[in-house]
Amino acid sequence: MPSMKAIKRRRLTVKNISQITQAMNLVATSKLQRARANKTAVGRPVQATFDIVYNAVCDERALSQPFVAPRTVKKTAYVLITSNRGLCGGYNSNVCKALNAHSKQNGKDFLIIPVGTKGRDYFKRRNAELIDAPPPSETPNFTEAKDVGDKLVKMYEAGDIDEVYLVYTQFFTVLSLEPIIRKVLPLDPDYLRCIVGTNLKDGEEFEDLGFFAKPDPKPASSLNQEVEFESGIENVLRSLIPWYLSMYLYAAMASSALCEQAARMTSMDSATKNAGEIIEKLTLQFNRQRQSAITQEITEIVSGANALQ
Amino acid sequence: MADEKKIELRVIAPTMATDKSPYKFEKSVDMAIMRCTTGDLGILPGRMPVSMVLGTGVLRIFDEDSETHMAILGGVAHAGDDVVTILSDAAFRPDEIDTQKISEEMSELRRLLDGTADLDEKHKYREDIHRMQVQLEVAKSEEK
């Protein structure tokens, strides 16, 4: 049985840790509000960009264009979005495990572009092929997303990669965060129709990416209008695709940043609760030992006094 | 204008301030003229859907009796359903342009342009100078 001094020291340590976790919980709660506002603000530009891309891609001439026409896949690229810091429960490991499972199921040669140091370290330990990307700042900004988007476009055009998957965490509620894997290149007009949510065909359903709500149905007059392409569909798509990728990435980064704070908040909350339980147990243990020491001392005094009489 | 029909103009740029508005610029206007790679294109309400690649140039925005300018340094735009969305690689309002700094950078680039014989470098410097000229043009239009 540990001594009273040891129990006291341990109780103090646990108390200090609980103060830290409580502070981290409060910080995460405040950052969660900021991340939520950022994710909401991202929604409208993302929706506007997706609409434009959809308008271009649903044209028949787009189907034979380089970013739309499917290719024989030799190499797959995964863009993995994780955080730079730990202490956020299973947030990072869940998304890394999802990528691992998907790559095994896909069975193709792959490389990873990690956005966030935790994901990079996870796959570095497993000797996966990595393409370095600068770690993102805590509040993702569009410039960071655009750098990665431009890099992907260059690699895709050069033939270094043949398909691109985005791996991130989607926010449903604070307690419900889900790792998501979505194919972003080559563009699939049917998939795009589902995420944009307009002109859905029979059997197709709006896929809620969590970036924006399902748009209102457009008036019949605006449907099936032919889009005119100044400077040719090829050039328009060449300029649009980096925007589509960057916007998708930006929204995914904003969603992941929100999930990181939610995961940290939840895990720090349970850590604080657990610390409280340990403190209670240790206090009980300490009090028992103190009581038994007092009882023993009284017994010794009484028996000593009795012996003297 | 007697006709109240307007177009909704939205400019999205990497430097967009998400804390205030998700767009760099957002307003209902009468007409917008932008520089495409094939020439200038004006958009009025009721325009049939069009997508275009933008070059470096001045975006001229007409509303009521006023005309405002923005420097657009490349990008892509789509007009349809009386909504014009510009995805610009870089866009600057007149109040964001530091004319003194740009003038200094431009003289430095001109010096580099004169000093190099490499054709690729010359092309790059010329493009950069053109971008700066557009920004100065926009800044000056505000001063008038």
pLDDT tens sequence across B110-129: 998 888 888 888 888 898 89
For residue B17, the model assigns a pLDDT of 55
Residue A265 contacts residue A35 (beta carbons within 8 Å): no
Give pLDDT tens digits for A6-16.
999 999 999 99
For residue B144, the model assigns a pLDDT of 61
For residue A195, the model assigns a pLDDT of 78
The C-alpha torsion from A30 through A33 and A37 to A43, rounded to 10°, is 130
C-alpha to C-alpha distance for A82 and A252, rounded to whole angstroms? 10
Residue in B22, B37, B52 closest to A44 by CB: B22
Is the model's pLDDT at B71 over the cut of 80? yes
Residue from B11, B33, B51 whose CB has the most chain A CBs within 10 Å, to mutate: B51
The token duo for A267 is 């895990």
Find all residues with CB under 8 Å of A82, minimum gap 6, and list them: A91, A92, A95, A96, A114, A115, A116, A117, A118, A119, A120, A122, A256
Question: pTM of the entire structure?
Answer: 0.85
Residue from B16, B76, B81, B84 whose CB has the most chain A CBs within 10 Å, to mutate: B76
DSSP state of A130: B
Smallest CA-to-CA distance from A174 within A254, A246, A96, A262 is with A262
CATH superfamily of domain region B7-94? F0F1 ATP synthase delta/epsilon subunit, N-terminal (2.60.15.10)
| B22 close contact with A: CB closer than 8 A | yes
Residue A87 contacts residue A122 (beta carbons within 8 Å): no
| A223 close contact with B: CB closer than 8 A | no
Please give the single-letter amino acid code of residue A84.
Answer: N
DSSP state of B32: E
B73 CB neighbours in chain A (<8 A) are none
CB count within 10 Å of CB A13 equals: 13
Beta-bridge partner residues of A67: none
What's the Cα-to-Cα distance from A48 to each of A146, A200, A242, rounded to whole Å?
Answer: 16, 17, 15
Residue in A48, A227, A239 closest to B10 by CB: A48
A143 CB neighbours in chain B (<8 A) are 14-15
| A103 close contact with B: CB closer than 8 A | no
Query: Structural domain boundaries of chain B?
Result: 7-94, 97-143
What's the Cα-to-Cα distance from A200 to each of A50, A179, A193, rounded to whole Å?
Answer: 15, 26, 6
Q: Characterize the bridge pairing of strands A228-229 and B50-63.
A: parallel
Residue in A37, A48, A227 closest to B49 by CB: A227
For residue A70, the model assigns a pLDDT of 86
Q: Do A52 and B51 touch (CB under 8 A)?
A: yes
Is the model's pLDDT at B1 over the cut of 50? no
| B5 close contact with A: CB closer than 8 A | no
Smallest CA–CA separation between A202 and chain B, in Å? Answer: 25
Residue A229 contacts residue A52 (beta carbons within 8 Å): no
Q: Which domains, from first to last, does chain A contain?
A: 4-25+271-304 (1.10.287.80), 31-216+229-264 (3.40.1380.10)
Q: Characterize the bridge pairing of strands B83-88 and B66-80.
A: antiparallel
Predicted-complex ipTM score: 0.81
Is the model's pLDDT at B68 over the cut of 50? yes
Is the model's pLDDT at B3 over the cut of 60? no
Long-range contacts at B8-12 (CB < 8 A, ≥ 24 apart): B8/B82, B8/B83, B8/B84, B9/B61, B9/B84, B9/B86, B10/A48, B10/B83, B10/B84, B10/B85, B10/B86, B11/B59, B11/B70, B11/B72, B11/B86, B11/B88, B11/B91, B12/A45, B12/A48, B12/A49, B12/B85, B12/B86, B12/B87, B12/B88
Q: Do B87 and A240 touch (CB under 8 A)?
A: yes
B37 CB neighbours in chain A (<8 A) are 230-231, 235
CB count within 10 Å of CB B60 equals: 18
Is the model's pLDDT at B15 over the cut of 60? yes
For residue A269, the model assigns a pLDDT of 93
| A99 close contact with B: CB closer than 8 A | no
For residue A219, the model assigns a pLDDT of 58
Q: Do B14 and A52 touch (CB under 8 A)?
A: no
What stretches in chain A show pLDDT beneath 70?
199, 217-225
Is there a cis peptide before residue A186, judged by omega within 30 degrees of 0? yes
A45 CB neighbours in chain B (<8 A) are 12, 16, 22-23
